[in-house]
Every structure is written in structure tokens, then in C-alpha cells.
Structure 1
């Protein structure tokens, strides 16, 4: 018992990852991110006033960030403390469930695979609808290659902030660290837009997300490069190019408005021999973006599968390394 408790983070991480592999994200199961989203929305509607000055908007946005982070830390900490008082195994079970809810590997794979299946059936309308569930861009103007590219980019980018980064924070700070990271990431996705409504109110959330992902994004890219090398060793239908992954990563990792978003996307582009990113349409307006990667070949639906293989390989490598470090190896 003492061994399990002394290394509870390692075992909870492993259990959480296995639960995610088996169960994914059941929509009927209460998820802490949904509660975070409700709290963020509740506070934003009451605090974000267009009539406020820029300084007041930033102060109110910072207050929202504080409340959401404090709540995301306090509630699970209290639950885990109570479980530990009742029984050590209950504590381990609760911590494992929290770790499971912080990892989104299967959900990311499942949602992007829906896009792949519709493209394979040549049903462009359903493919557009499927990809609209995981990207923020306008999808009704995308052709088949555009839909495939959007899905690949989402898998590549979210391999970091949806999978590796939560694992990193849980490995360092425990399950509550993972939930605090998810709170930061959720705030970024909800209120950190560069429009009139959120550019000041969401300023703190955006900067905090950049800071929180500073190390995980680069760590994710390095682990993805290593995964590309491992995958390239095994003969398979998938195509991975580790040397090109390193080349594109070194060249294109900062070709994004965010300092972190292109880290894993550049690795994936190089590993798959694709050209990703480029101009994108949001709400009818074209947003100019640099291309990431070289077009060594045309993108195809199968690249969504390849991106998921690369994402899962990176996830497994992250989990294994995290567990070994926590066990003291």
C-alpha cells in the first residue's frame, strides 16, 4: 500500500491513460471541463461590459482567471483530501478518474476519424460538418483536401495542448495540476479572441495560456520527433520522415501568431511531407497565415489516420517517460 501511495501520481497517470484509451469521453459522464466552461460563461456575461475602459476590462478578465483557476484547484483538492481520509484506494481511484478526464487522446482521434470516414465515402458535406466540430474556421467553403488538412492540423496542434501538456502538468503537480491546466486552456478557447469583445477582457487568459504551454509545446515537439523516428523503423502503410520532421520543425516552428501552436504542427508537417496552415477563413474574413512545411505530396484523407498514429505514439512515449520519472528511474 505504501508503495502505491508513495508513487500515486505514476499509477494514477497510467490508470487515467488506460481509461481514456478504453472509454474516451462519454458525453453522458459529468466532465470537469464542462463545469469550467459553465463557470467561465457565467462570469464572462456578468463581468465583460463593452462600456468599461480597456484597463477595467483587463482587470475584470484577470479576476475571472483567478476565480476559475482557484475553483479548479480547490474543489478537486478537497475531493481528493476527503477520499484519502476515507480510504487510500478511494483516493487512488479518484485521482485516476481526474487524470482520465484531463487526457483527450481518444476523443481527438475519434472526432478526427469521423472526418476521415466521411471523406472515404466521398460525402463532402458530412465531412465538412464533422470537421466543423473540431475547428473554428469556416468549413462550408473547404474542398476535400481542405477538410483533410483542417483535420490533420487540429490533431497535430492538439497533440500538445489536449494530450501532452495535461500529462506534463499531472506528472509534475499531480491530478490537480492537470485540472488547473485544463482550466487555463479552456479560458483561452472561450475568451481569448482578438476581437472587440475579448481583446482586453481575454488578455490575461491568452497570456497565461501562452506561458503555461511554453515548455509543454516544445517538449511535445521533441517527443513527436522521437516518435516519428520510432515509427519510421517499423514497416507499415504509414509514411513518416524523421529527418524532414526535424528540418521543418527548426524552420517553421514559429510560423504562427501563437508562440506555441506551430511547434507540433511543424513536426507533423515535416513527418508527413505535407504543407499545412496558409490563409484561413474565419466568419467570412480571410486571415493571412504562413505555410508550414513543404508540399512533397498532395494531402489525402489517409493523412488523418497518420496524424492520429503520430499523436498516439507521442502520447504513449509521454506517459511512459512520465511514469518512469515519477517512479525514480
Structure 2
């Protein structure tokens, strides 16, 4: 059976670069978010919050998987379209560029407002340096969540098929979309605050496990390689990765953030305020230079190149796997 995954993923990636997340599109992640909110209304009432939170996780992931499987069975066009919606390269780049342009215009208050849509930290008291740091940090962290992880799970899923109503269906889309559900659950209920410390525990742990391999591939391979091609500090990117990658409270966020910090010669962390409380986050990277607006542009450049290199790797591996089928396809 010929596997067209490398073609489907290539088209999905191109659509991501061209369309990003169109405002007219009722994005699947929004639908997943509404499903989570709906289920939470009933499940949060249970006394055992860890158990009910686990049920929320299982129900959300199961429904997402089944719906995605049905969508993938429809036809290639539908499958490619929804596969594209799991990728967020241009959307993430656009958000970074938006704050960059506002900062360059000198409107700090507007930059704080725009940043507040991207991060959970308090932005009203941030200095320009902290705004730049927050934007670059967000791009670095979401390089994994927004592209590498969904691409990774789409690739893994492409090796598996299920017969559904007499038709073999690839699990590329179900795997990628289920990952997006995992990530959405973590972003909605995975907080370590009073409300979600127990209810969101399972969702947070599942997200940690799901991002484990993609985060390390990003920090160890994709970011340093992109840094080398772009002429940024390749050696320092690797040095800071190995030194600081485990300093973050998250087991995965520090993997990509450390590689970005080293590449740009900047330092993440320090005093940050969340929900009115100040926290002293461990520092990642060395402060070899002061923050500059251009650090945002450089981070965006790394993001784009990371996604491009990862796509080449995925397409190449997929084609190699299908060499026998390709020979038949082209009558060689």
C-alpha cells in the first residue's frame, strides 16, 4: 500500500507557511478547548479531583482521536487540511513580529497588551528588555508545541493504519490532532494553582511525556543546526543546551529555550510575576549582550529554519521508508 504521507505533510507545511491560522477558520483547537470546558463543568464537581481530571483527559483525547480518524477517512483533501491546522509556524512567527513592530514604534504599553495574549505572566510592569525576553522565550518554547511535536506525531502515526468501514486509514492526522488535544489540556488545566493543582495533574504529566522526545530533538539538533546555517552562535547554543536544559521547572521547556538562549547570547529567567505573585525563575543562558529588538527577528528566523529542516527530515525519512512503493509507482 503506497503511503502518500510525505506528499500530504509537505502540502500541509506549505499551507501553514502561506495561511497561518486564518481569522475565518474556526480552528480545531478552539473546538477542542470548548469540549474541555464543557466536560470540565461536570467533572470538576467530583470530590476526587485527580481521578476526575484523568477522566477529562481520557475523554478529550479519545473523542479527538475518533473524530480525527473519521476526518482522515473522508479524503486526502480533508486530511491534508486538518493536518495543516496542527502546525503553527507562521502563526507563532506572526505573533512575534507583531510585538517586534510595536516595540520599534515605541508604544511600550501596546506591546505589553499584545504580549498579554501570548503569555500567562503579568505584563503590565514589564520593561522593554523583559518584553523582548518574554517574546523570544515564548517562540523558543512554542517551537516544540507549535511545530516539532505535532509534526513528530504525524510522522509516527503515518506508520500505522486502521481499517475503518472497509478502508485503510492512516493515523498521521489522529496522532497529530490528539497531540494538539494533549497540549490544549495542559494549557487550560495544567496550572499548579489552587484550582488545578489536582484536577490538571494528569493532563500536565501527559503533556510532559508527549513532548519529551520532540523537545530534546529540538534543543539538541534542530535549533543548533539552524543556528549554524544562520551564522548565529552554534557552539554556544550547544554549550548552553547541555548546561542549562534541565534548569526549567518544566522537563521540556528548557530544552529548546537553552538552545535559543545560547544561539542569541541572551539570558532567560529572573524575577517574573504570575497572577500577582513574584517568582524568581532559574536563569538559562549567559547574558553576553543586552536584549535588542532584533533578538525577536533572530528567534523568528530560527523558528522558520527549524520547521524547514524538520520538514525535510520527515519527508526524506518517509520517502526512504516508501522506496519500494515509489519504484512501483514510477514503474522503475
TM-score normalized by structure 2?
0.90
1:246 is paired with a residue of what secondary structure?
A: helix
Match of 1:179 in 2: 177
Tell whether 2:314 aligns with 1:322: yes
Match of 2:35 in 1: 39
CA deviations 1:165-196 (Å, max 9, x no partner) are: 11101111111111000000000000011111
Match of 1:144 in 2: 128
Match of 1:253 in 2: 245
CA deviations 1:254-281 (Å, max 9, x no partner) are: 1111100010000000000001122210
- Segments of 4+ moved more than 6 angstroms: none
Contact 1:274 / 1:298 at 8 angstroms: preserved in 2?
yes
CA deviations 1:305-328 (Å, max 9, x no partner) are: 100000111000001100111111
Residues 277-316 of structure 1 aligned to structure 2 (within 5 Å): 277-316=269-308
Match of 1:193 in 2: 191
Offset of residue 7 of structure 1: 2.8
1:195 is paired with a residue of what secondary structure?
A: coil
Offset of residue 79 of structure 1: 2.1
CA deviations 1:11-41 (Å, max 9, x no partner) are: 1111111001111101221211011000001
Contact 2:57 / 2:185 at 8 angstroms: preserved in 1?
yes
1:286 is paired with a residue of what secondary structure?
A: strand
- The farther-off stretch of 106-115 and 220-229 is 220-229
Gaps of 5+ in 1: 84-90, 233-239
2:13 to 9, 13, 17: 17
Offset of residue 61 of structure 1: 0.6
Residues 113-128 of structure 1 aligned to structure 2 (within 5 Å): 113-128=97-112
Residues 165-244 of structure 1 aligned to structure 2 (within 5 Å): 165-173=149-157, 174-221=172-219, 222-232=221-231, 240-244=232-236
Cα separation, 2, equivalents of 1:185 and 1:12: 23
2:273 is paired with a residue of what secondary structure?
A: strand
1:136 is paired with a residue of what secondary structure?
A: coil
- Size of the aligned set, in residue pairs, is 306
- The farther-off stretch of 23-32 and 311-320 is 23-32
Gaps of 5+ in 2: 158-171, 322-332
1:97 to 81, 102, 106: 81
Cα separation, 2, equivalents of 1:163 and 1:59: 31
Match of 1:262 in 2: 254
2:85 is paired with a residue of what secondary structure?
A: helix
Offset of residue 128 of structure 1: 0.6
Cα separation, 1, equivalents of 2:248 and 2:272: 12
Offset of residue 110 of structure 1: 0.5
Match of 1:57 in 2: 49
Offset of residue 231 of structure 1: 1.5
2:146 to 162, 165, 171: 162
Tell whether 2:22 aligns with 1:30: no
Contact 1:165 / 1:220 at 8 angstroms: preserved in 2?
no
